[in-house]
Amino acid sequence: MEKLSRAMFSSHITPVAAVFLLGLVYILATTLHQYRRLRHIPGPPYAGLSKWWLARNELSGEMNLRLLGVSEKYGSIARIGPNLLLTSDPDLLKRMLAVRTKYKRGDWYDAAQFDPGHQNIISERDDAAHNKLRGKMAAGYSGKDVEGLELRVDRNVRGLIKLLDEKYVAKGKRFEFARKVQYFTLDAISDISFDEPFGFLTADSDLWQYIYTAESALTAVLFCTIWPWLTKIAASFPFNRLLPSDDDPFGFGKIKGIARKQASERYGPNKKVNNDMLGSFVNHGLTPKEAESEIIVQTLAGSDTTATAIRATMLHVVTNPRVLAAFHAELDARGITGRAPDAIISEAEARTLPYLQAIIKEGLRIWPPVTGLSNKVVPPEGDTFNGIHLPGGTNIGYCAWGVFRRRDIWGDDAAEFRPERWLETEPEKLKKMEATLELIFSYGRWQCLGRNIALMETNKVIVELLRRFDLILVDPTKPWVTKNISIHAQSGLWMRGYKRV
């Protein structure tokens, strides 16, 4: 009996143990191989052995600062994962992003499938498909096909001013500036996109709890950028039932429902014809599903990043008396300060204001709105940059804070907000600064299509708010709450305003 039991036990356990041991050997061998192929590139201890180092640091909510620390300690090319490098070298970034680059988008972009199973301009990794999609959308984003694009922005700027003036400034009440700005960017992009503002400014509230739910989902999105296979699992049955639905009355699902409705109205025998961005997409051949996906992308990506640019720039200006005084002097000298209350500066005129442009450039530099790694993949044959071998198949991520804090480009005061650097720098160095700043909107074949719209909104909001109101922080010791996970989630920017004109 004892011999029989031993035989049964042995025959049952040995195969399981063998499989376990083989699996362990495979994992160790794979880890060792991954570690050895990039061992010549320095980085934090243990980062080359597991993705958990990256996850732990990105989940800190200080992803931008943690990656800056890596860049400053280990150099402009550092290792932060088993097959992941980090770079703060603008020349390498341009090499990876150039129009004819052999580098490809990495699986980091899979997490940008906001509508699971359907690619969009951000998530599409196939070069040919991306170029084709981009070609169909370019005219809409450029404004060529959008009737009164600037007027649409203007009426939403007026909506923001009216809200702040009548509900808060006139009544001596404080307001949460971070939220009001995002109400503006959400209404502006929906007005441009499908001729119908969402209505955040009119309601003066987080409609459908959209902003709250979007910010709450950042952690889940982060995990999908680190482990992209989670995206496929989330889109598969039965997990897809847990995702936001087009029929949800709140949150991201509500936005999906609006996108579906707006897109469906533009197709078929009784289609609605509008000269807005969605109309341009339809005219250039986007399918109904593609149009729906792009509306979602505009809402998510366009509103958040532009809001961050405006918030951060305004925060740095209103807390810097010297900069604020110089800007008011520029407005006074051009006769802008005393214009009619309903007048909105044109984009063309705003671009002729040197100090305004210096403020906007410096605001983007000091607080880059997008900090995600946006991994690109080294071509199969490998590459060599500044004498460093980059093996084929290696992912290389973008260190935004590292690029825009480089002392060799921005000077010893790179960590300071100083718009004058854009006005007093020698031409050759200024050229390098301008070229590096372009990385804010990516570069080359993947440059952000919404760049010009974002800059138009930023130009107008900064001028029109600062010529009308003196804005002060309610608590200068706690200016805001800002959390960084690939993009910024910002709140608690409490201000008071006082009428100037």
441 close to 405: Cβ distance less than 8 angstroms: no
For residue 337 the two structure tokens come to: 């300060």
224 is in an annotated binding site: no
Q: Do the Cβ atoms of 378 and 393 come closer than 8 Å?
A: yes
Provide the greatest CA pair distance for the chain. Answer: 103
Length of the chain: 501
What is the 3-state secondary structure of 420-481? CHHHHCCHHHHHHHHHHHHHHHCCHHHCCCCHHHHHHHHHHHHHHHHHHEEEEECCCCCCCE
DSSP class of residue 111 equals G
Can you say how many angstroms the Cα of residue 169 is from the centroid of all Cα atoms in its chain? 31
Burial of 134 (0-12, 13-18, 19+ CB in 10 A): middle
Q: Which amino acid is at 237?
A: F
The token pair at 364 is: 């983007």
Cα 23 → chain centroid = 39
- Vertex 433 angle, CA 181 and 482, to 5°: 30
HSE-CB for 301 with a 13 A CA cutoff = 24
Q: Which helix (H) or strand (E) holds 418?
A: none
What is the token pair recorded at 80? 């932060």
Q: Residues marked as binding?
A: 448
Q: Residues marked as binding for heme?
A: 448
